[in-house]
Amino acid sequence: MATNTLSTENKFTWGGGKSPFSVSYGKLMMWIFLLSDAFTFSSLLIAYGFIRYSFQSPIHNEIVKPLAHLSDNFVEQMQQAGLFVQDHWPSPELVFNHFPFVHGMHLPLFFVSLMTFILIFSSVTMVLAVEAGHRMAKDEVAKYMLLTIIGGAAFLGCQAWEWSTFIGEGARLYENPFGPKSFAALFFIVTGFHGFHVFSGVMLNVIIYLNVLNGTYEKRGHYEMIEKVGLYWHFVDLVWVFVFTFYYLI
């Protein structure tokens, strides 16, 4: 009788009595939450697309070459040259062209590429933490979680620098020397909302990291919690890829 039950049970994945996806309800809930969060981000990105395409496309820049000299009144120069105008979306590479400690050089999108690299790298360390969790290797989990936290914090630091540079040049929610006001407003909201997610992720990671050090998961017998925050972290990373593509590249 027992064998009979077992064999039919395997046939009926959806037959009840167990999870059809072979995941715990906690992990399933994280997936479902991420699905809905994806829709929140989509709504903001769609708003971005809707507003962006009500303006004309960026004017192609042939004046400033990479590594060229950047004068202090670069924004005014561009306004005069007709590259930053009210009815054209500004070209992101002319807006985001600074790099910390490097003054007077046109470095289009160098910094944001570095940020992207940092964030993706922190996803890699997260994967390594999850993998170490499967082996119940507490010290390794702790090490990679710490690296992930550092990566996330570094990303947030970079974002803070980018925001303050942008604001320093006169951008506000309601003001934008580079062209249409919506450009700045959307920048703050989209990257801000993403940054808020990164911030929450770092906080979660810190809590989990402390739990790892305390041996909570070792006592529990599994490191599933790492997988759950891992899902969240990869999601935040994936969203950044979209933000980066839409906001900076096209």
Q: Token pair for residue 157?
A: 């630091």
Contact between 101 and other proteins by CB under 8 A: the answer reads: no
Q: Token pair for residue 34?
A: 């991420």
From the centroid of its chain, how far is CA 203?
15
Q: Which is nearer to other proteins, 58 or 151 (CB)?
A: 58
Min dist CB 192 to other proteins, Å, is 10
The only residue of 173, 241, 249, 250 in contact with other proteins, by rule CB under 8 A? 173
Rounded (10°) angle between helices 138-168 and 110-134 = 160
Q: Which is nearer to other proteins, 72 or 87 (CB)?
A: 87
Q: How far apart are the first and last CA of the chain?
A: 63
Stretch that binds other proteins, among 20-28, 59-67, 77-85, 109-117 (CB under 8 A): 20-28
The three-class DSSP label of residue 61 is coil
Counting Cα atoms < 13 Å in the Cβ hemisphere of 188 gives 15
# binding residues, other proteins (CB under 8 A): 46
Contact between 51 and other proteins by CB under 8 A: the answer reads: yes
Determine how many CB atoms are found less than 10 A away from the CB of residue 222. Answer: 13
The only residue of 3, 16, 62, 71 in contact with other proteins, by rule CB under 8 A? 16
Q: Which is nearer to other proteins, 43 or 216 (CB)?
A: 43
For residues 186 and 47, is the Cβ–Cβ distance under 8 A?
A: yes
Which stretches of the chain bind other proteins, using CB under 8 A?
1, 4-5, 8-9, 11-12, 14-17, 19-21, 23-26, 28-29, 32-33, 35-37, 39-44, 46-47, 50-51, 54-55, 172-174, 180-182, 185, 189, 193
